[in-house]
């Protein structure tokens, strides 16, 4: 008589645990979200904050750590200091972003070093950014949105534009390509010619 082993599956991991629900905003949702940020209490700051988080795939901690000295207005560049062991790089600043930075900085009457400050003259906190994002999410009826959604949205946008996995990896500061692969795997543009 053979001895049978009882194999128990882990309660924590299901067969499809690697599959996740949509955790990014589409192009149209991003436009609605950014437009709504211009109708908040601090429209110039909030619009720029969210635009930069999206354009540069910033984690919330990277966004609140930005300093005015990281921004080079003359050459339209911003130094992105990646956290979590990521690769820090210099990114170009697009035209609309450059105009938004200038508008915001011109409205400031302080000499504080941080790019994003609260009304009390201290750097924005992670909690403040989460509150801004969730409040705008409710106003726009965009569900399950949090600051990291903007980083994912950046990755999915770049993948949908057909950019190379390595380029996206470097842009987002990933050391491990497996973190970048999620964006290319579900990029809808890959499937567009299947039924033509």
Catalytic residue among 44, 82, 151, 152: 151
Is 174 catalytic? The answer is: yes
Its sign, for the CA torsion 175, 151, 171, 53, is negative
Is 84 catalytic? The answer is: yes
Catalytic residue among 91, 148, 163, 179: 148
Concatenated DSSP letters for the chain?
-PPPP-PPPPSS--TTTT-----S--HHHHHHHHHHHTTSSSHHHHHHHHHHHHHHT--HHHHHT-BGGGEETTTTEEEE---TTPPPEEEE--HHHHHHHHHHHHH-----SBSSB-TTSSBPPHHHHHHHHHHHHHHHT--S--HHHHHHHHHHHHHHTT--HHHHHHHHT-SSHHHHHHHHHT-GGGGTTTT-
CA–CA separation, 149 vs 79, rounded Å?
Answer: 21
Is 148 catalytic? The answer is: yes
Is 47 catalytic? The answer is: no
Catalytic residue among 44, 45, 59, 152: 59
Is 179 catalytic? The answer is: no
Is 4 catalytic? The answer is: no
Catalytic residue among 22, 38, 84, 189: 84
Catalytic residue among 24, 42, 47, 183: 183
Active site residues: 59, 84, 148, 151, 174, 183
């Amino acid at each position: 008589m053979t001895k049978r082993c009882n194999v128990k599956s882990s309660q924590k991991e299901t067969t499809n645990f690697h599959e996740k629900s949509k955790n990014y905003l589409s192009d149209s949702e991003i436009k609605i979200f950014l437009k709504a940020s211009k109708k908040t209490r601090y429209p110039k700051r909030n619009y720029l904050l969210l635009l930069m988080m999206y354009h540069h795939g910033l984690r919330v901690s990277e966004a609140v750590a930005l300093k005015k000295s990281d921004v080079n207005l003359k050459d339209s560049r911003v130094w992105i200091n990646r956290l979590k062991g990521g690769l820090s790089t210099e990114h170009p600043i697009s035209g609309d972003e450059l105009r938004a930075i200038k508008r915001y900085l011109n409205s400031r009457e302080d000499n504080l070093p941080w790019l994003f400050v609260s009304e009390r003259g201290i750097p924005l906190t992670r909690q403040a950014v989460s509150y801004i994002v969730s409040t705008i999410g409710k106003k726009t009826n965009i569900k399950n949105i949090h600051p990291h959604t903007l980083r994912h949205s950046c990755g999915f946008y770049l993948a949908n534009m057909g950019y190379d996995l390595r380029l996206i990896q470097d842009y987002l500061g990933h050391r491990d390509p497996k973190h970048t692969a999620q964006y290319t795997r579900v990029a809808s543009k890959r499937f567009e010619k299947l039924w033509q």
